[in-house]
Structure 1
């Protein structure tokens, strides 16, 4: 599958450069208006979300970070799906018509493996499957990508934090290099993020949401990122987050979501966010890079 060849080439060059930089440098590259670009559920504008095809689509665009969602099946296996039901992104209603409301927790992995998770998005993705966490990690590793992992609806899956960490460990994702450079775990549940931090204090974590500024110090005790919707933030809010140190003693970061157009990408980049989570990572990356280049060129002219 070929996606925007010129964007893929330039993205690959940027991705290689990011791999050669330390983690802190890779966050901002060489300009404060170049936040990290994260492919939301993979490059989900170009391939069915949370599938291996979406991981590969991000890789073709040269995007080094992908985001995904982890949930648990009836028989205790971890799978990569966003919704708590299978109805929107698979053909479960046709395969199992009498099993409404088709909750993930009501299906075994063997049953979920029978579902088509690609045809809803496009005929060329027919037969794409719901990946297990192990399969997803293997593909991300094969592509030399990094992972922003969301523990989805943890209140439905008691103990999913320790189970997720167990799989990460067995797949080699909790060694020193991965923990330091390639992995972030996030959730909308503060309790879930707090649990991950307690179980593995070395792992970088993020809280999904927009806490009140007065409450930020409470979150900073157990997380490294505050990750809000782009519709809820301002430059002042980003600055307030940045004034605090996170759980690892470094500046608390902001990864915002879900930005899919050039205008909003530039707007949030200029607010100072550290990362942008997007379905269209090529659009966001290219817009942010172009804006930073214009800013650098203007600065060079002013200094002459």
Structure 2
């Protein structure tokens, strides 16, 4: 059984965004590229919130996408409803990913945990992503266990545990008593994780046999890692803040290391080259194709996102020269990109207007803010910046909703 240590550790771990991990580390990487590598040399792939890049996050549709991809695990976030029912949802409020304003006007900024299970089931958690997913419900905790398999397991983040008192026991009881969860646990396909060390320690006492991951937005110092090693098995951190020294520090503490949220193959390659053992991302379908030696975007026709200019000098949405995405045609034929769009990780959209064609070798700049449209620039005229100055991840989609490329910086 892992030991428990002082709760003073809470102040030593900074808050961040998501999850990673698998209990057993794969073999060391033997090639310069992961493209088409043998499975024994591949990092463990975890679908973030199921497969949040291709389906509405934390829904059964996203979990099925993650399973279909062949990813090693699918990740989700658990919270408790006002009447104690465990459900899968990421945000602290329902505003971003549901139709709460229509169903419960005035409650859009209320804590998601202030809704009863019956109320949560009245919300549409799919339409925000696209009409294709209209009617997707907020899942029960057990729903993901019904989707998962012995090949594609579950990474379960205990989300905002301060808002769900007792959630650790609810989760531990389910893993011990529900047949679907028992089957996954026995196959070594369940791991629990949290940014909150107190929550992780509580869970370690309730279910010491379950692999446990401590999340942190940056890799802690060696002393803190030594404390983490008394109750957890691995550390998950942001790939954007990770360096080789951080990887080495984690491994020296006897812990394994994973990164989140990796959304293009270049970032996956860079992480693996440092010795990262597991990689969590929104696009497990595309990652698995890449690892299998197959083109991850077979319908791209040479269209790629070549840059995200997300932190321009001055105002990010200043007229004519604010934040923007650059789309380049690397193919041999001109492509009409009318109605194509860019989607970021928070589901903000940047559209391309009618009549835009990108010639071979040419590029189109797609801006968030206002400006004068030209053959090489399209302005969405929005008044609020959407691209993260500290690093952005986007997917590029055709007008018929086919994913053509991803990009992260």
Specify which structure has the higher proportion of strand.
Answer: 2
Evaluate the alpha carbon distance shift between residue 138 and residue 281 of structure 1 in structure 2; reply closer, same or farther with a 3 A threshold. same
For 2:273, the equivalent position in structure 1 comes to 270
Specify which structure has the higher proportion of helix.
Answer: 1
Runs of 5+ consecutive residues of structure 2 not aligned to the other structure? 1-21, 31-40, 294-409
Moved more, 177-186 or 161-170: 177-186
Evaluate the alpha carbon distance shift between residue 104 and residue 259 of structure 1 in structure 2; reply closer, same or farther with a 3 A threshold. same
Matched, 1:54 2:57: no
Residues in 2 aligned to 1:118 and 1:232: alpha-carbon distance in whole angstroms:
32
Residues in 2 aligned to 1:29 and 1:222: alpha-carbon distance in whole angstroms:
24
For 2:242, the equivalent position in structure 1 comes to 233
For 2:103, the equivalent position in structure 1 comes to 95
Aligned length: 260
For 2:199, the equivalent position in structure 1 comes to 192
Moved more, 121-130 or 232-241: 232-241
Given that residues 260 and 283 in structure 1 are in contact (C-alpha distance below 8 angstroms), is that contact kept between their aligned partners in structure 2?
Answer: no
**Which residue of 68, 73, 85 maps to 2:93?**
85
Moved more, 266-275 or 175-184: 175-184
Evaluate the alpha carbon distance shift between residue 78 and residue 92 of structure 1 in structure 2; reply closer, same or farther with a 3 A threshold. same
**Which residue of 253, 256, 259 maps to 1:253?**
256
Given that residues 50 and 81 in structure 1 are in contact (C-alpha distance below 8 angstroms), is that contact kept between their aligned partners in structure 2?
Answer: yes
Q: Quick check: which has more Rg, 1 or 2?
A: 2
Cα offset, 1:101, TM superposition = 1.7
**Which residue of 121, 126, 132 maps to 1:113?**
121
Q: Secondary structure at the match of 1:181?
A: coil
Given that residues 39 and 277 in structure 1 are in contact (C-alpha distance below 8 angstroms), is that contact kept between their aligned partners in structure 2?
Answer: yes
Evaluate the alpha carbon distance shift between residue 240 and residue 288 of structure 1 in structure 2; reply closer, same or farther with a 3 A threshold. farther
Matched, 1:147 2:154: yes
Matched, 1:282 2:276: no
Write the mapping of 1:143-182 to structure 2, written as runs, cut at 5 A: 144-172=151-179, 175=182, 178-179=185-186, 181-182=188-189
Aligned Cα RMSD in Å? Answer: 2.1
Q: Secondary structure at the match of 1:37?
A: strand
Given that residues 71 and 151 in structure 1 are in contact (C-alpha distance below 8 angstroms), is that contact kept between their aligned partners in structure 2?
Answer: yes
Residues in 2 aligned to 1:100 and 1:43: alpha-carbon distance in whole angstroms:
25
For 1:16, the equivalent position in structure 2 comes to none
**Which residue of 35, 39, 44 maps to 2:43?**
35
Question: TM-score, with normalisation over the residues of structure 1?
Answer: 0.80
Residues in 2 aligned to 1:90 and 1:83: alpha-carbon distance in whole angstroms:
11
